[in-house]
Amino acid sequence: MKPSEPTLTAVAKELKKIPSDALVIGVGKGQDGPVLLDSPLPAKAARALGDSLQVLGVTGAADDVRRLAALPDTGSESLVLVGVGPVTPGTAVPAETLRRAAGAAVRQLKGLETVVLALPAPGVADATAVAEGAALGAYAYDGYRSGLGADGRPAPRKDDGPVRTILVHTAAAQDGAQDAALTAGLARAAVLAKNVNATRTLVNQPPSHLYPESFAQAARDLAKGLPVKVTVMDEKKLERDGYGGILGVGKGSSRPPRLVKVEYAPAKSKVHLALVGKGITFDSGGLSLKPAASMQTMKLDMAGAAVVLNTVLAVAELGLAAKVTAWLCLAENMPSGTAQRPEDVLTTYGGRTVEVLNTDAEGRLVLADGLAAASEEHPDAIIDIATLTGAQMIALGNRTSGVMGDDGVRDAVKAAADRAGESFWPMPLPEELRPSLDSQVADIANIGERFGGMMTAAVFLREFVGSTDGEKIPWAHLDIAGPAFNEGSPYGYTPKAGTGVGVRTLLAYVEDVLGRAS
Ligand code: BES
Ligand code: MN
Ligand code: ZN
């Protein structure tokens, strides 16, 4: 079930010539109360509206959306005021603020068909940010609601689907003569949003329906029509080739693991990047069973794999000149008579052994195989992304992801995240954590120092990154445990549940690497 994405169009016409269901205008939170932001409204109307904000009780706080009667001389059925949060007079509204405001408005206007966003977006970059936020806000997960009422008969459906047609009002669109940069920016925004939204939907799939085999099939389905090659390795192939990490984690489940390789290799590629994603379709903890409350939301544990899949698909659809290979490490972590035990030793891909002291530290085991396999192709850099540790949430909270690794890649990821509008923060890889992972019986143990557990996990992963001509392949690890899934209320363009975090950063990273290579 693939929901269709909204269309994004830039317009510069007079408002009265643009028919729509809603016209969205921004309100900022100024020093002395709410301020109406720049808009194409006729000056008189804008002044009257600005003067009445206070009486209307509009504050300009982010996510505050008010729907009012239409203003005369606009082609819209209604007027919508969206708060953008604090603004500094005389300075441009930052891109991420525009994204969030557009997202908040579109998200809260579900059920409408056509929405005009008249936020202060004079330039191409601003207009593109508005388009991105709007398309990200136009998301809905339908799930598996039957549509049947309590009486077992079809219940009348309320029409609250996402906005279908998004018109971005911007001076950058000179009526018809849109410049190439704007057209390209909108096209990129559409591809980006489609792939972020597809990531969200995969994360939101219940584990009854999404398991390694069905995830692999979803990868094939999503890749249809794109110039990418999808290779699915089943449990027999994994056994033959020695993928002991993925197999060990998958052993307890009746639904066998998979390793999926998704390659985009354009003829003119200048760089090769490998992306490795943790794809635990459900993390019960295994025999080191999680308490019931911690198990809830553990369908999210495949978010990293969904991110790397959709990043390659976005790169392919945009036709970027980078070779990108994604490795989806898919397994279901379950307790059973066939499950791996604490104290088991497994042999990861390439031959290194791991003592499994806690079966709930399973992400690093599947990633060990993925990192080793990715290394064999000697890419220019490897980035892995995973909902790896609860410690990430302790350290950085629910909205900021951690990035660790070699200085160069780590800093490049941080810079890409800033440009993309995602919150990542660099964390160190303290050397003193390594001895805590020493094992009496194997090369390394899968758990170590608990304090700074996000970094301990990263220090473990580092061991499985290979070399090219004696030099370690540049690598970074992204821990998105908290940010991958929004357990709270929606905000900005971020819905409840799966957020799709990581796709925008990784796409921006690929673009940045290409920019530096040319
Ligand atoms: N999937 C979890 C991490 C997680 C926790 C993600 C909460 C999102 C929200 C991971 O597999 C896990 O269980 N990690 C353990 C590691 C520990 C046993 C060293 C953890 O963080 O408790
Ligand atoms: Mn776990
Ligand atoms: Zn996990």
Instruction: Name the residue with the closest Cα to ligand 1, atom 16.
Output: 361
CA distances from 354 to 277, 286, 331, 350 (A): 20, 17, 18, 12
Q: What confidence tens digit (pLDDT) does each residue in 120-145 have?
A: 999 999 999 999 999 999 999 988 98
Count Cα neighbours of 343 within 13 Å in the Cβ-side half-sphere.
Answer: 0
What are the strands of the beta sheet with 344-347, ordered from one edge? 344-347, 353-356, 444-445
Please state the rounded mean pLDDT for residues 78-83: 98
DSSP 361-407: --HHHHHHHHHHHHHTT--SEEEEEE---HHHHHHH-SS-EEEEESH
Residue at token pair 């003067």: 51
Cα(372) to ligand 1 centroid in Å equals: 22
Whether residue 176 is predicted with pLDDT greater than 60 in this model: the reply is: no
- Rounded Cα distance, 500 and 507, in Å: 12
Tell me the CA–centroid distance for residue 306 and ligand 3, in Å. 14
So what's the pLDDT on residue 160?
Answer: 84
Taking the CA of residue 446 as reference, the ligand 1 atom at the shortest distance is: 19
Give the residue ranges of DSSP H helices in 434-482. Answer: 453-462
Tell me: pLDDT of 1 over 50: no
9 lines ligand 1 (CB under 6 A): no
C-beta of 386 in contact with ligand 1 (< 6 A): no
Question: Is residue 17 annotated as part of the catalytic site, yes or no?
Answer: no
Phi/psi of residue 303, each to 5°?
-60, -40
Helix ranges restricted to H, 251-344: 292-295, 303-318
Q: What is the pLDDT of residue 345?
A: 98
Percent of the chain with pLDDT over 70: 99
Q: What is the average pLDDT value for the chain, to the nearest integer? A: 96
Look up the pTM and report it.
Answer: 0.97
Which range among 85-94, 391-400, 416-425 shows the weakest confidence by mean pLDDT? 85-94
Residues 6 or more apart whose CB falls under 8 angstroms from that of 219 comprise: 230, 232, 260, 262, 309, 328
155 pLDDT higher than 90: no
Could you tell me if the CB of 361 is within 6 A of ligand 1? yes
